Amino acid sequence: MADQAATELCQTIIEDYHPALESLRVDVILDKKDTAAWGVTKKVSGLNAFLAGPAIFRETGEGGEDFFVVVLSQLVWGQLTDDQKNALMDHQLAWCDVEEDDAGNVKLSVNGPAFGEFPEIIDRHGVNWRPDLQAFFRRVHKSGQLSLLDLGDPKPGRAGRIGKALDDLEAAGATLEYAPCR
């Protein structure tokens, strides 16, 4: 189901942060399905793009240009604050990639984020083993955004033998000093 407020937000985010998308069709749909995903961005092309176009295109056989569609969980969207909605829409639009070749042909694609990692791997190995994770967390730290997180207990428990040993040392009264990862 299309949502006027989400569509308007999409246009605002495009104007502010994604100018390469300004001349392209980007549809926003709120999905009623109960899903763990907050949203997904897809490229619509070929016959699907042709059929999703105006009826005049089907009558003339023209049209069918590729476009993007942002599918958001209606359940999640309804529970987000305005700031979270802005961030989610910006996140979904960041998946959209537009490339133009020397002849002026435009190619749309959906790309992933700069990195991805499983939470349990970070629990076990931290971020120092991957340069892209280090760069990401440096960027988060530099932007000051870490302060927006509700981190709760700063050391909720450590995984593995080393983590258990550190927990045991603190329980015995040892004072541990932590240095930031660099």
What is the separation, in whole angstroms, between the first and last Cα of the chain? 46
Closest listed residue to residue 181, CA positions, set 127, 122, 125, 123: 127
**Which of 2-6, 11-15, 128-132, 171-175 shows the lowest per-residue confidence on average (mean pLDDT)?**
171-175
pLDDT recorded at residue 28: 96
Assess whether pLDDT exceeds 80 at residue 52.
yes
Quote the CA–CA distance of 111 and 109 in Å, as a whole number. 6
Percent of the chain having pLDDT more than 90?
Answer: 42
Percent of the chain past pLDDT 70, that is, above it, reads 73
Q: Is the pLDDT of residue 86 over 70?
A: yes
Q: Domains in the chain, please, with CATH? A: 4-110 (3.30.2010), 119-171 (no CATH)
Query: Over the stretch 27-36, which tens digit does the pLDDT of each residue have?
Result: 999 999 877 6
Give residue 156's pLDDT.
54
Q: Is the pLDDT of residue 40 over 50?
A: yes
166 or 134: which leads in pLDDT: 134
Confidence of residue 180 (pLDDT cuts 50, 70, 90): very low
| Residue 123 confidence (pLDDT) above 90 | no
Q: How far apart are CA 8 and CA 27, in angstroms?
A: 10
Instruction: Tell me the per-residue pLDDT of 94-113, one tens digit each, with 9 for 90 and over.
Output: 999 999 999 988 999 999 88
Polymer length in residues for the chain: 182
Across all residues in the chain, what is the average pLDDT?
80
pTM over 0.75: no
CA angle at 53 for the pair 52 and 56, rounded to the nearest 5°? 135
